[in-house]
Amino acid sequence: MKKKLVALLLSAAMVLTLGGCGGTEGAAADSGSTVEGTGTEAVGEGTETADAENTDLSGDLVFAIYDNVLMTYIDENDMVGKFQEKYPNANIEVEKIKDDSEYWNSMKMRTSANQLPDVMINKTFTLSRFKDYLVDLSDLNSTANNEYAAGYAVDGKILGLPMVVNCNYVFYWKDQFEEAGITEIPDTWEEFKTAAKTLQDYYGKQNPDYMAIAMGAKDEWPDYPFMEFMPAAQGGNGQNWNDMAKTDTPFAQGTDINTAYHKIYDLFSSGVFGKDPLGLGNDQATALFAQKQAGMMVSGAWSLTAISEGAESTDNLGTFYLPVRDSESDPFNCVVQGDGFIGVTTHSKNPELAKAFVDWFMSEDWYGGYIQYCADDSTMTNSPKEKTPILAEADAAQPDVVNVMYDGGGDDFQAIQNEVTFDYKKLGAEMFTDGFDLDKRLEELDQSWTEARKTLNIN
Amino acid sequence: MNSLVKKQRKFIVFAMLIPTILLIGFVLVPAVDLFRMSFTDWDGWSPTRNFIGIKNYLNMFKNKDLWLSLRNNAVYFFAHLIMIPVELAFAIMLNTKFRGYKFYRFMVFMPFIINGVAISYAFSYFFSPINGAFDEILTVLGLEGWIRNWLSDTKIVNFVLAFVSLWRYSGYHVTLFTAALQSVPQDMQEAARMDGANSWQMFRYIQVPSIALMVDFVLFDNIRGALQAFDVPFVMTQGGPGYASSTFTLFTINTAFKFSNFGLAATMAVALVFIIIIVHVIQNKLIHGLILKEEK
């Protein structure tokens, strides 16, 4: 019995050892940057179309993403196979991370462990955080075709190509506006407030659960069109965060952020968000808006998919831009931002291949189809996109809109923000609570801001 | 014989060595590193970290939002502490073999094995102000006047979250107590019964002393669990409104990941270890010295 047991253990050990050897060979082959399997299968087709210089590039790439829409498109359209048609010796592993919060946590960990993926996605506010770990993409063809990349250069380097450009819309139900007697699309902040109040008064009488503006403030982040973008829209200054870093008291009376936050507080505390916006998450709020339990919802173009899926019909769904201006003589500022900055990291073992991938990804071959699939607008001159009719209504309603290119804040701003623990989205959610004192909070923020600048030696 | 002894020794050495190496690698080294990190200004990704002495510790004591979060932990702690006698009573009840007792044992334990995030999501909808099941139940019972903003009223939000935490973890404690009660020797219990001990005397002088170790463990688990409460407030309220339902661990995680201050977060983690130890020592003194009046 004992002998049998020993023999069994030895056999198992041999199998494991052989398996291990096999694995090592496989790994060695991989590390030698030649890919078998799917890569080889694609050689026949790929070599016919690929450039001679491109076929030389080989190796493995990890492409980390968080966007569900992008992941679905990649899966449905065999991105890996299509890239291998052009680069037969390349292999790509697409790593999908649950959501963007988890994505940044993961990237932060991987930065300190020198384990960043070859190709990563950034947002406006993470570009400067990762600037030391991103390769300059200035020499790519796609960079030349990207309308917005140069505007987001950090220290003169193009560290990522924005895949999409987006702005926020006020989605609204036209039939509810009509029934409540709102005949004009709001063109100023006061008109917007009045429209919200009219809706709340009209429908709130019949339905105590009604919300003139739906917002899942429990999740905090859905207040971003107000708390994050309104200070920039208020003064038409996309560099608002960076400018705030240059002063000791950026929240003082008369500043853009002070004015914008007072306007927001005024709106948030007026009861137009229904009986308890802090009790609802974004999914719930979106679903309720889709079911016409709310008259308006302020969000990005990406919300259109969820609204359309939840609504019986979108025949009466319309959009307009959030009017921040005080009077019609002021410019109608609308914050626009590049998003999904695709870039190559310095941790990549195959940086040339990674750059070739980014160039291919943003070319008509791949990007042309992707941009038509997602709700956002195109950043590439060679892959233009027409807006969907519902979103195009906003342009028709406000033809004189002035786009304000938004910057998420550079090093100095983020250092101060971390030191002060300034969380504008949380602050927005707090505005819904009883007894919230905005002036006191802004004063406290100014004091902390001054101290932080001193501590961090920022002038 | 010698060979067998050698084998035994080898087995003992390996059996001791492997857990020791694992403990050193996965507990001791990270703990030392955590302690070291608490004296630095590391932001979580920079290759360098500067030694800043006890600055993080001073900043931690000055942070009023952090101590507000710790106060919220106290709600979980006391809610669970008050429930421990109830859990013990349930365990004694489930320890008797009545019809369907196995089903009830399973039902009591079930919330603990369901994913915590799923439970928190479910309760988010349960307490939702619009179409929320709890408000509907109150309405059906004619208690509309009791309806509140369960997840956004800063005065009650922590009690609502503590209730969810109780729903989830009480069954675990009941199961632990039940398992411990089953190990109480039957002959001892029968002898006590023959001596005329009533149910209370059986409970007080036979069952509780016999499961004292388990009671200690549950009490310690309560402190640890209450001070490390995270999933329920994170999913249900994000710690909000503001920091009204934030907990110490939630605040620590936000400090590390949202505000890129791993040094300060490490300081908070070190502080949490000491808080758990201090609360445990005080609780032990109170329960064993004053309530159970044990002589050491």
Give the closest residue to B52 by CA, choosing from B274, B218, B267, B260.
Answer: B267
Residue B287 lies in a domain: yes
Q: Which of residues 434-453 of A touch B (CB under 8 A)?
A: 434
Q: Which of residues 215-244 of B touch A (CB under 8 A)?
A: 237-238, 240-242, 244
Q: What is the pLDDT of residue A81?
A: 92
Q: How far is CA A362 from CA A47, A77, A323, A370, A449, in A?
A: 21, 15, 33, 9, 40
Q: Which domain holds residue B161?
A: 57-115+154-291
Residues A69 and A117 in one domain: yes
Residue A8 lies in a domain: no
Residue A209 lies in a domain: yes
Whether the predicted pLDDT of A311 surpasses 90: yes
Whether the predicted pLDDT of A43 surpasses 70: no
Whether the predicted pLDDT of A53 surpasses 70: no
Neighbour count for residue B40 (Cβ, 10 Å): 20
Residue A25 lies in a domain: no
Residue B241, preceding peptide bond in cis (omega within 30° of 0): yes
Taking residues A397-406, what's their average pLDDT? 91
Whether the predicted pLDDT of A9 surpasses 50: no
- Single-letter code of the amino acid located at B78: F
Residue A20 lies in a domain: no
Looking at the complex, report in whole angstroms how far the Cα of residue B55 sits from the nearest Cα belonging to chain A: 12
Residues A323 and A444 in one domain: yes
The residue written with tokens 């946590």 in the block is A105
Is B151 in contact with A275 (Cβ distance < 8 A)? no
| Number of folded domains that form chain B | 1
A111–chain B Cβ distance below 8 A for any pair: yes
pLDDT by residue (tens digit) across B198-230? 888 888 888 888 888 898 889 889 998 998 899
Q: What is the pLDDT of residue B290?
A: 67
| Number of folded domains that form chain A | 2
A417–chain B Cβ distance below 8 A for any pair: yes
Give the closest residue to A209 by CA, choosing from B263, B269, B131.
Answer: B131
Q: What is the pLDDT of residue B199?
A: 84
Residue B283 lies in a domain: yes
Domain with residue A365: its CATH number is 3.40.190.10
Residues A313 and A184 in one domain: yes
DSSP code, position A316: T
Domain with residue B284: its CATH number is 1.10.3720.10
Q: What is the pLDDT of residue B49?
A: 85
Tell me if residue A102 falls in helix, strand or coil: helix
Residues A327 and A370 in one domain: no
Give the closest residue to B55 by CA, choosing from B38, B79, B32.
Answer: B38
Taking residues A225-232, what's their average pLDDT? 96
First-to-last CA distance in chain A?
80
Q: Which domain holds residue A436?
A: 167-337+388-455
Number of CB pairs, chain A paired with chain B, less than 8 A apart? 88
Can you give the C-alpha Rg of chain A in angstroms? 26
B260–chain A Cβ distance below 8 A for any pair: yes
pLDDT by residue (tens digit) across A197-228? 999 999 999 999 999 999 999 999 999 999 99
Question: Which tokens belong to B3?
Answer: 């060979």
Residue A216 lies in a domain: yes
H or E segment to which residue A112 belongs: helix A100-112
Residues A148 and A250 in one domain: no
- Boundary of a domain, candidates A378, A405, A432: A378
Is B154 in contact with A430 (Cβ distance < 8 A)? no
Q: What is the pLDDT of residue A45?
A: 37
Neighbour count for residue B158 (Cβ, 10 Å): 23
First-to-last CA distance in chain B?
45
Residues A174 and A289 in one domain: yes
Residue B126 lies in a domain: no
| Helix/strand/coil (H/E/C) assignment for every residue in chain B | CHHHHHHHHHHHHHHHHHHHHHHHHHHHHHHHHHHHHCCECCCCCCCCCCECCCHHHHHHHHCHHHHHHHHHHHHHHHHHHHHHHHHHHHHHHHHCCCCCHHHHHHHHHHHHHCCHHHHHHHHHHHCCCCCCHHHHHHHHCCCHHHCCCCCCCCCCHHHHHHHHHHHHHHHHHHHHHHHHHHCCCHHHHHHHHHCCCCHHHHHHHHHHHHCHHHHHHHHHHHHHHHHCCCHHHHHHCCCCCCCCCCCHHHHHHHHHHHCCCHHHHHHHHHHHHHHHHHHHHHHHHHHHHHHCCCCC
Question: CB of B87 within 8 A of CB of B174?
Answer: yes
**Which residues have a Cβ under 8 Å from the Cβ of A181 and sit 6 or more positions away?**
A198, A202
pLDDT by residue (tens digit) across A166-198? 889 999 999 999 999 999 999 999 999 999 999
Residue A223 lies in a domain: yes
Q: What is the pLDDT of residue B294?
A: 57
Residues A145 and A231 in one domain: no
Of A218, A280, A418, the CB nearest to B260: A418
DSSP code, position A252: S
| Interatomic CA distance for residues A172 and A71, integer angstroms | 29
Choose, out of A276, A412, A438, the residue to mutate when testing the contact with B (most B CBs < 10 Å): A276
Backbone angles phi, psi at B105, to 5 degrees: -60, -45
Tell me if residue A164 falls in helix, strand or coil: strand
Question: Which tokens belong to A421?
Answer: 């623990």
Q: What is the pLDDT of residue B291?
A: 61
- Boundary of a domain, candidates A378, A402, A429: A378
Looking at the complex, report in whole angstroms how far the Cα of residue B120 sits from the nearest Cα belonging to chain A: 12
Residues A213 and A266 in one domain: yes
Whether the predicted pLDDT of A330 surpasses 70: yes
The pLDDT tens digits along chain B (296 residues) read: 578 888 888 888 888 899 999 999 999 999 999 999 999 998 887 778 889 999 999 989 888 888 888 899 999 999 999 999 999 988 988 888 778 888 888 888 888 988 888 999 999 999 999 989 999 999 999 998 999 999 999 999 999 999 999 999 999 999 999 999 988 888 888 898 899 888 888 888 888 888 888 988 898 899 989 988 998 999 999 888 888 999 999 999 999 988 889 999 999 999 999 999 998 888 888 877 766 665 54
Of B128, B258, B259, the CB nearest to A279: B128
Q: What is the pLDDT of residue A21?
A: 36
What is the pLDDT of chain A when averaged over all its residues? 86
Q: State ipTM.
A: 0.80
> From B254, which residue of chain A is nearest by alpha-carbon distance?
A421
Whether the predicted pLDDT of A410 surpasses 50: yes
